Amino acid sequence: MATPRDTSRRPDALTLEVVELIGEVVARFHADYEEAAAELSLTGAQAKLLSLLSLEPLPMRKLAQKLKCEPSNVTGIVDRLEARGLVERRPDPGDRRVKVAAATDEGRRVARGLRESLRFAREPLAGLSEGERVALRDALRRMLGE
């Protein structure tokens, strides 16, 4: 049976406003990301997977965890990206029984282009001073426990 949430400590008005603003920032980022992906004929899931693989090769199970989806979905996404020459499957150097997905040179180029094309990074964030961006980054890291 579900337990009621502790409502004795309701968030103050400032905290509620910050939560709303974070929600708007996330929504704008997702919309911009989806649009940038579509311009490259990628779905949002394909773009996210390609971005992850541009950093390092990963086994399918790890990709599924990072994307919060079923491994069978990851297999289909990797298949479509592999057909476009953006991803390849390789044996895992640590365990040759396991396959990892890795971005090809072209896949890394496309992922870099995706990141660079995000208007969200060019417009609202670029409008902040370097000091403001550092403070925002540090605050976000603290919120995430990093």
**10-59 pLDDT, tens per residue?**
889 999 999 999 999 889 888 999 999 999 999 999 999 999 999 999 99
Residue 82 · residue 93 · CB < 8 Å: no
Position 5 in a domain = no
Axis crossing angle, helix 105-117 with helix 44-55, rounded to the nearest 10 = 120
Q: Which domain holds residue 23?
A: 17-144
Nearest to 117 by CA among 35, 27, 59: 35
Per-chain mean pLDDT for the chain? 89
pTM: 0.76
Predicted pLDDT of residue 6: 56
Position 9 in a domain = no
Predicted pLDDT of residue 4: 54
Dihedral angle computed from the Cα positions of residues 82, 85, 87 and 90, in that order, rounded to the nearest 10 degrees: 80
Predicted pLDDT of residue 5: 57
Check which CATH number belongs to the domain holding 72 and give it. Answer: 1.10.10.10
Query: What is the number of alpha carbons within 13 Å of residue 132 lying toward its C-beta?
Result: 6
Position 69 in a domain = yes
Position 28 in a domain = yes
How many structural domains are present in the chain? 1
More confident residue, 3 or 92: 92
More confident residue, 120 or 138: 138
pLDDT over 70 for what percent of the chain?
94
Position 6 in a domain = no
Position 68 in a domain = yes
Residue 74 · residue 58 · CB < 8 Å: no
Position 96 in a domain = yes
**93-125 pLDDT, tens per residue?**
888 888 899 999 999 999 999 998 888 777 888
Residue 99 · residue 92 · CB < 8 Å: yes
Residue 82 host element (H or E): helix 71-83
